[in-house]
Amino acid sequence: MSSREEMLADLPPVLRKCPEFQEMARVEGKVFDRLERHIEEVLDNVFIDSATWGLTLMEKEFKIPTDVNKPLEHRRSVLKSKKRGIGRVSVGMIKNVAESFQNGSVEVKAIKGESKILVTFNDVYGIPPNLEDIKTAIRKILPAHRVIDFEFKYLLIKDVEAMTLAEMEATPLNKFAGGV
């Protein structure tokens, strides 16, 4: 229901048909509707998942360089990882940071005796498009002596053999091992 309709509904029935009250409700209703849209926009920009122009303010707060050329989802992922990467470093924290990017689930293993962390991407084939952002986010929370390796999922020969020609033609090369 628009603000105009709400205002008229709140009036006594005898005044609802009065031209002066209808005009007042029309004009003020437009103002209130516009105000509500502005309030919704501001509220949307308070939350990482719905922010647009608010991302710049959040990046400044977290001391992240703003790159307006990056897609909004990539910028949101960097913010989420920075926010999640506060506290004591653990396998769970690294998993949480890596999964804050739009690449599905990951598995994180600490390799005993090697000071190495292995991050395996489970749901997405190929190398994630924002891998550099993921590396940077994890590197910022890991101690300097830790080495980090990434493992990616590619289509296997058995997967390719099960595909039709049309499916193969529709699959980007970066989903195949050795692809571009």
Tens digits of residue pLDDT in 14-57 = 999 999 999 999 999 999 999 999 999 999 999 999 999 999 99
What are the residue ranges spanned by the domains of the chain? 3-44, 54-154
CA–CA distance, 109 with 57 (Å, rounded to integer)? 34
Residue pair 159/128 in contact (Cβ under 8 Å)? The answer is no
pLDDT tens for residues 99-140?
A: 888 667 889 998 888 888 999 988 878 888 888 888 988 888
- Characterize 104-134 residue by residue with b for buried, 16 or more Cβ atoms within 10 angstroms of its Cβ, and e for exposed: eebebeeeeeeeebebebeebbbbbebeebb
CA–CA distance, 177 with 106 (Å, rounded to integer)? 19
CA–CA distance, 94 with 7 (Å, rounded to integer)? 52
HSE of 84 in the Cβ direction (CA atoms, 13 Å)? Answer: 22
User: What is the CATH code for 54-154?
Assistant: 1.10.287
Task: Quote the pTM value.
Answer: 0.54
- Residue 44: closest CA among 62, 1, 70, 36: 36
The dihedral built from the CA positions of residue 90, 114, 130 and 58, taken in this order, carries a sign that is positive
Residue pair 179/149 in contact (Cβ under 8 Å)? The answer is no
User: Lowest-pLDDT range, 3-17, 75-89, 126-140?
Assistant: 75-89
CA dihedral of 13, 17, 21, 22, whole degrees rounded to 10: 120
